[in-house]
Amino acid sequence: MNLFNRKKPEEIVREWDRALNREQRKIDRELQQSKRQVQKMEADCKKMAKKNQVDAAKVLARQVIQGRKGMNRLHQTKANINSVQLNMKQQMAMAKVSGAFEKSTQVMKAMSKLVRVPEVMKTMQELQREMMKSGVIEEMMNDALDDALGDEDLEQETDDEVNKVLEEIISGQLDKMPTNSLPAQQSLDANVESEEEDEQALQERLQSLRS
């Protein structure tokens, strides 16, 4: 892109806005696809649990967790794009008066996150360079260290979540399953509210499915 080359502020912002809108549509398509994939994995997980194939169900539950986190990341990406678009409209109004853009910490923070999102990375890196030329943002330090610290407990978090997600997916199904699909001596009380179950009760419930 070569947007900041003898163009008026409103022309530049319109160029950026169109590019950001294209990325929004791309994210929307990714979200729809991810939603269908997660729903399919949830359905497959239920099937595995019904067949008492708990190890396979837990693998699928882990994939559901990753899929949901991916969707959350895409929703956050959309929010950051919206933040940039809103700020740039404000910048355009001020630039019409002063003849120049002003530095924006808000845009800098949003762009620092967007340039690391794989789905929009290329476009955002180009926009980042153009915004630096225009004076909206300064050269940004890589805050990958902050990201690394944030992801430090990701694997452990996934391990902690997987049983809860599996319980959520199969919840309401156990009382519909044939009684002979579960060992009689380890039948479960399907009426116990999930929020009242502690970790030990949850482990016992999953163990009964393995047996």
Q: pLDDT in tens for each of the 211 residues of the chain?
A: 444 456 788 889 999 999 999 999 999 999 999 999 999 999 999 999 888 888 899 899 999 999 999 999 999 999 999 999 999 988 888 887 787 888 888 899 999 999 999 999 999 999 999 999 888 988 764 444 344 334 444 455 566 788 888 888 887 554 444 433 433 223 333 333 443 444 455 556 556 555 5
Residue pair 197/157 in contact by the 8 Å Cβ criterion: no
Three-state secondary structure call for residue 209: helix
Give the whole-angstrom CA distance, residue 87 versus residue 104: 8
**Which pTM value belongs to this model?**
0.69
Q: How far apart are CA 127 and CA 3, in angstroms?
A: 9
Who's near 121: CB < 8 A, 6+ residues apart? 114, 115
* Of 26, 35, 16, nearest in space to 117 by CA: 26
Helices (H), the chain: 9-50, 54-98, 105-114, 121-134, 144-150, 154-170, 199-210
Which letter does DSSP use for residue 143 in this model?
A: -
Q: Within the chain, what is the greatest distance between any pair of CA atoms? A: 80
Domain ranges in the chain? 9-153, 171-211
**Contacts of 74 by beta carbon, 8 Å cutoff, 6+ apart:** 27, 30, 31, 34, 119
